A and B are shown apart, each in its own frame.
Chain A
């Protein structure tokens, strides 16, 4: 069966300005995400892993358009959604830049033949462009923008890390869970109590507790409420941003198991963002490793953990303490120094300053992300040169 792509991130860039002085002039940029691409298939869990400052959370936030991307495309269900939350003029100029200019050139050069070389989304838009001209494509993309936004918001939901600050302390659980569905008119007002009760039951909260406030629940229960809030919207995709990081060990496994059960029951697609490689290994189907705003390696879980090729992935795996006293004798790879600042990331391969097997070329040339085996991507000049086995 062909796997269907639900979300596609295409060369996503997010730079944050650093402002200083009386006039708040921009004096530099934090390059939080610097050209990241990946696809997420329907029903799978993609794990996004990396240390603090690698840009994994920024990817999630930009995907949701809680941040406006600096450049790049975010495609959901075969539609470009990048311009959905821009104002009209910006959106128009984005469409011109991304599609119209390109298509005009393409039409002169190749005409309708170009269709075969284009990806899904581009092909669809190019077809409209050929049939109805530029104005037709503008109309297709910019009409019903409000509906499109709503559709996207409903289908892509997020669960945050800290269950203490992500729930409004002045709202009852019922209002927290029902707020979205009422705004989107997914449920009639008269049936809200039933609906919220059922959703809460789904995540293991007693339905009668819907009239309580968040402070009356423990951390694990709050995280369940956070999940219920996302789930209530009947989304296709849930982004879990360090959703279990703040929880105690015994509670963490409850939430992981809950998320797995819900995925099966509701056919959810997860993007699971975490710094914890062991948790990511447990829950993911595919894993992407990020370092300083770049993706360094991506592969199906089994392949990645059995055959890690990027020296950073290998060092990350070796750094994790394993709860087995027999394995402590094993020599680890200890990386030197700290993660460099994303304001002035090192040139060439960004990992070269800490890489135990770096060669002169790594300082000069940035390695592209290449597919070395079906589904296994790595961005390294010398993949597989650092070995370590748990």
Chain B
């Protein structure tokens, strides 16, 4: 696939904090990445790593408890954090669209599938209702929903999980967005349905030339779909590189540990590594490198480490300055 070197979206040192009664949750704490035209950027991390909050911040869909402390989100050079809500509404759904994990929750149960797809089309493309309906039916056909003329008048509960996710993709694509953010789009689905949806998303991306941000906890899905990957841990990007670099030559102990703790279908008699301890409490992140209490290579300096990324190669960055240790353990 052709991937241009021109970034369509740049996130710079983004910090999103939640002010709760128990204290400040630093859900996203200094995250930077670029998204290039036509590529797929995978954001991978466990629960509480801040991957979903990052995407919600880009869409500006956070509630009043959340505060964007600092940072820039540049969409074609325009800072999305500085524009008015009015302007943002024009971009949201039109230029940047998003699909969510649980289509039953994300779709409105009291409107038909057709109504919900048509809403965005009528709003952004200024067409008549009859025209919008035609577009909606075409979209449903395109995402592989059988009998779209019938389905367009059905309610979300009348569709299966896979069909609902297809409907949501149709809705997201209705205005031919330049960026699609997919937040765990297949997590709630069965594997055979997941395979269908991933295939569909790949096809549509090729056809529409969209850039895609794929957010997931599943390393398999990342390897399958992403061109470049950002690995997140406790609100920060710990490693950032091309999919080959991340999977074959991980330069952060967390990425390395994560990769060796997944049971794999293609490996015989595998010994599973486990990462000790638990995912840290977001109210009380460890100091320095936030992974250090669980890291097998941790040393004294890690407790006071500055959060910044070190360059391994021009396309590969890691937050661990001691990434050389990974070579000693024979990471392939």
Q: Are B264 and A278 in contact (CB under 8 A)?
A: yes
A250 touches B270 (CB 8 A): no
Quote the shortest CB–CB distance from A255 to chain B (angstroms). Answer: 8
Q: Which residues does chain A contribute within 8 Å of B248, judged by CB atoms? A: 325
Interface residues on B, range: 35 or more
Find out whether the CB atom of B247 lies under 8 angstroms from the CB atom of A324.
Answer: yes
In whole angstroms, what is the CA distance A323 to B272 when docked? Answer: 14
Q: Are B220 and A321 touching (Cβ within 8 A)? A: yes
Knowing A51-B190, A51-B191, A278-B262 are in contact, say whether A253-B273 is a contact too (CB < 8 A): yes
Q: Is the CB of A324 within 8 A of B261?
A: no
In the complex, chain B residues whose CB is within 8 Å of the CB of A277 = 191, 265
> Are A249 and B247 within 8 A (Cβ)?
no
Instruction: Report if A322-B192 is in contact (Cβ < 8 Å); known contacts: A249-B261, A279-B263.
Output: no
A316 CB within 8 Å of chain B: yes
- 8 Å CB contacts to A: which residues of B197-254? 198-199, 217-225, 243-244, 247-248
Complex CA gap A299/B163 in Å reads 33
Minimum CB–CB distance from B268 to chain A (whole Å) comes to: 8
Query: Which of A250, A282, A317, A327 contacts B279 (CB under 8 A)?
Result: A250
- Inter-chain contact A218/B279, CB cutoff 8 Å: yes
Separation of A331 and B257 alpha carbons in the complex (Å): 29
Give the docked Cα–Cα distance between A319 and B198 (Å).
Answer: 10
Q: Is the C-beta of A106 less than 8 angstroms from some C-beta in chain B?
A: no
Q: How far is the CA of A156 from the CA of B255 in the complex (A)?
A: 39
B278 with A323: CB separation less than 8 A = no
Q: A254-B275, A334-B196 are in contact. Are A322 and B265 (CB under 8 A)?
A: yes
On chain A, the residues within 8 Å of B257 by CB distance are: 250
Whether A281 is near chain B, meaning CB under 8 Å from some CB there, is: yes
Say yes or no: B190 contacts A254, CB within 8 Å. Answer: no
Residue of B nearest to A250 (CB): B275
A contact residues around B217 at 8 Å (CB): 248-249
**Most interface-central of A256, A318, A322, A339 (chain B CB within 10 A):** A322
- Asked whether, in the complex, the Cβ of B263 is within 8 Å of the Cβ of A278, the reply is yes
Contact B279 A251 (CB under 8 A): yes
**A319→B223 contact, CB < 8 A:** no
Q: Does A338 contact B (CB under 8 A)?
A: yes
B156 interfacial by beta-carbon distance below 8 Å: no
Q: Does A121 contact B (CB under 8 A)?
A: no
In the complex, besides A321-B221, A324-B247, A334-B196, 5 extra interface pairs with C-beta distance below 8 angstroms are: A275-B190, A319-B195, A322-B224, A323-B223, A323-B247
Nearest 10 A-B pairs (CB), nearest first?
Answer: A321-B220, A282-B263, A253-B261, A319-B195, A250-B275, A323-B219, A51-B190, A248-B46, A254-B274, A253-B274
Interface residues, chain B, with chain A CB atoms under 8 Å away: 46-47, 160, 162-163, 190-196, 198-199, 217-225, 243-244, 247-248, 257-259, 261-266, 270, 272-276, 278-279, 294
A interface, CB within 8 angstroms of B: 51-52, 218-221, 248-254, 256-257, 275-279, 281-283, 305, 315-325, 327-328, 332, 334-335, 338-339, 354, 390
